[in-house]
Structure 1
């Protein structure tokens, strides 16, 4: 069974993301809303006895013995971890039915929800999902649909502009240094290696080519996608390296790249003050990760216990510090001087900072900016387009 998900177009445009929990419960839609079919799955009503284990697909650094062993001691649930390297891999693994939980980013979560791979959550069974979770990570459009919460926040980060200040001597304020063909740093520009990077080009076009009418970088019709691809192909001739998290740091420290998109944690990992970063005036893309529960989870009680345990200030803070991101639980930021320093560096409670960030969201056929007169391009279209960019 499926139900219609109605989303106010004005809210979509204002929030800069993709889907909203501020919607009707189905049936007739008000003017200016879009509808998306989502599987009508029930949430768990109450918890029972703990199972003996929980199987988790996660980013590297999210599930470590430092906190997983204590969870096992407390609950009797053995934690079995599968590390995934990309969002695409996470989606594929969750579709096997072998895993209970996933630490999904926004470029995976919508696919999992719409395809019925994950179920809505009963947040009353997760006490730590409370007032201390930062507002900017609650009820967001990429994991809260039709009034149902599908994701328990873990952490977030912006995709910032990193540069070598010994080479880029005038601190940049715009992404123009990586997109314009007359950039003095052509040949030494780092770019993220993923179809979702198309949204970075779209953000720059929103600022520099307003006639294209882009209002949401994840809602591109064919003409808008073509414009983004043209910009990316122009950039391709200036790119020194398309990076993954494993190669970004060496690209900068080795001198291959002197400017380009990066993450705060990767810039910090360079361990050299000459590497600086900025959130440019046009804004940026970013990522927000959340625990999501498989629709057919074999160990739902252990899974719920894990989501609650890892949402506590202490454990959520450990995950955030270990991975390098802003924690979801703001209470962690007051637990120590080290915690405060970490939260300050990652702008953990600075909602004004994150208002300029368009968090990753999977593009789908329905235009997520509310348009109904055209069909937008989907993630498969973006994947095909990305192949033409890299050649």
Structure 2
């Protein structure tokens, strides 16, 4: 089976960031008081009935495949035949487009496959409804840490779908094994490989710069790299601005990172297990390092829309996409780790894939600091409201990385 280009980051740089910047300028960041609960918000389901015959989903490319991209890749048609729920999918180019559509009161999506920069904001703005996990067969088979990422006030707002870690990838012929994020973010170290660095093109990449600062400048007192005060965010922005002259490419699609390393143009940068796996199997001299400050990661989850029209079909979809056989297809096609470790049981996925992506390795997963949408509410027990939200992160990212 041919694989996609792996974990997508949200499409074109200018389109995505310009849209997010417009949100920032309008003051519509996460947790805004100007975003009341939508009219007719669905209640949490207590029982399930027969399917309603339809299902309207919102997703980024690759999350929902019906054989149109590749006839061998289809987990929609069997679902429709089994349940009678006809699936309609709106594919979006960027997470920002996904967020905007879910907030549009004139649209009603039953479900959305949300990345972390979208999921947290949808929960905060009541654009999704809690999931009754007892109605999702196989839910308890999903990775425990992943299940807890979208838990709030005792309720679960998503069913884990896929996940991955952010690593330091390096060319073994040129770069000594890096031990820290400082290899990428410290100005003196970055200068060694000037013009040969690659960085993920996402405001959430600020978190890796924050981790570097956590060890480099302890006076900043950085804890959660996704919950930054204005002072901490500004410091991370300065790190990125100093790094910018040495960056070859802010990569949008994983294939861009692969081609940069395969051709020798890049020797050090942010990547994921997918790129490392592909390049290693192609015989390229690359390896991945786990920075001493810690690993960051991400999870996409299926969420139920606040204005869901087909709740029974949506719950059947949640069960279907959590099943080992579908998880195997999704993982192989998208080049990311499945949320259900049973996707690696039997002969579903090759052992090399499961090892490279650390599927089922709970010690490894527990080390990962998974991304969440930055909000003004800081993490921890104090629940202070002096942190920065995703709109502010986007503004800082644009100002720090655009030439």
For the aligned pair, the TM-score class normalised by the smaller chain equals: 0.7 to 0.9
Of 210, 217, 223, the residue aligned with 2:225 is 217
Of 74, 96, 112, the residue aligned with 1:102 is 112
Structure-2 change in CA distance of 1:86 and 1:275 (3 Å) = farther
For 1:165-184, what aligned pairs fall within 5 Å after superposition?
165-168=172-175, 170-183=176-189, 184=192
Per mean C-alpha deviation after superposition, the further-off stretch among 364-373 and 87-96 is 364-373
1:6 matched residue in structure 2: none
Of 307, 311, 331, the residue aligned with 1:320 is 331
* Structure 1, gaps ≥5 residues long: 1-35
TM-score by length of 1: 0.85
Listed one character per residue, the Cα deviations across residues 301-320 of structure 1 (whole Å, up to 9, x for unaligned) are: 11111110111111112211
Q: Give the superposition deviation at 1:95.
A: 2.2
- Cα RMSD between the aligned structures? 2.1
* Structure 2, gaps ≥5 residues long: 1-32, 67-73
Q: Conserved in 2, the CA contact under 8 Å of 1:333 and 1:343?
A: yes
Q: Conserved in 1, the CA contact under 8 Å of 2:332 and 2:349?
A: no
Determine the C-alpha separation between the residues in 2 that align with 1:149 and 1:374. 23
The alignment status of 1:151 with 2:151, answered yes or no, reads no
The alignment status of 1:259 with 2:293, answered yes or no, reads no
TM-score by length of 2: 0.82
Q: Conserved in 2, the CA contact under 8 Å of 1:219 and 1:369?
A: no
Determine the C-alpha separation between the residues in 2 that align with 1:84 and 1:345. 29
The alignment status of 1:121 with 2:131, answered yes or no, reads yes
Q: Report the structure, 1 or 2, having the larger helix content.
A: 2
Q: Give the superposition deviation at 1:374.
A: 6.4
1:47 matched residue in structure 2: 48
Q: Conserved in 2, the CA contact under 8 Å of 1:265 and 1:324?
A: yes
2:98 matched residue in structure 1: 90
What SS does the corresponding residue of 2:331 show, helix, strand or coil?
A: helix
The alignment status of 1:112 with 2:112, answered yes or no, reads no
For 1:346-357, what aligned pairs fall within 5 Å after superposition?
346-357=357-368
Listed one character per residue, the Cα deviations across residues 216-252 of structure 1 (whole Å, up to 9, x for unaligned) are: 1111111111111111111112111111125222222
Determine the C-alpha separation between the residues in 2 that align with 1:275 and 1:100. 42
Q: Conserved in 2, the CA contact under 8 Å of 1:334 and 1:340?
A: no
Determine the C-alpha separation between the residues in 2 that align with 1:116 and 1:348. 32
Of 88, 98, 111, the residue aligned with 1:80 is 88
The alignment status of 1:305 with 2:311, answered yes or no, reads no
Structure-2 change in CA distance of 1:337 and 1:93 (3 Å) = closer
Q: Give the superposition deviation at 1:185.
A: 1.0
Structure-2 change in CA distance of 1:278 and 1:83 (3 Å) = farther
Q: Conserved in 1, the CA contact under 8 Å of 2:378 and 2:384?
A: no
Q: Give the superposition deviation at 1:372.
A: 5.8
Of 207, 213, 216, the residue aligned with 1:208 is 216
What SS does the corresponding residue of 1:289 show, helix, strand or coil?
A: strand
Q: Give the superposition deviation at 1:105.
A: 1.6
Structure-2 change in CA distance of 1:44 and 1:177 (3 Å) = same
Determine the C-alpha separation between the residues in 1 that align with 2:381 and 2:93. 32
Listed one character per residue, the Cα deviations across residues 46-78 of structure 1 (whole Å, up to 9, x for unaligned) are: 222212221222233221122111001101112
Q: Conserved in 2, the CA contact under 8 Å of 1:241 and 1:256?
A: no
Determine the C-alpha separation between the residues in 2 that align with 1:145 and 1:215. 20
Q: Conserved in 2, the CA contact under 8 Å of 1:177 and 1:185?
A: no
The alignment status of 1:191 with 2:192, answered yes or no, reads no
What SS does the corresponding residue of 1:162 show, helix, strand or coil?
A: strand
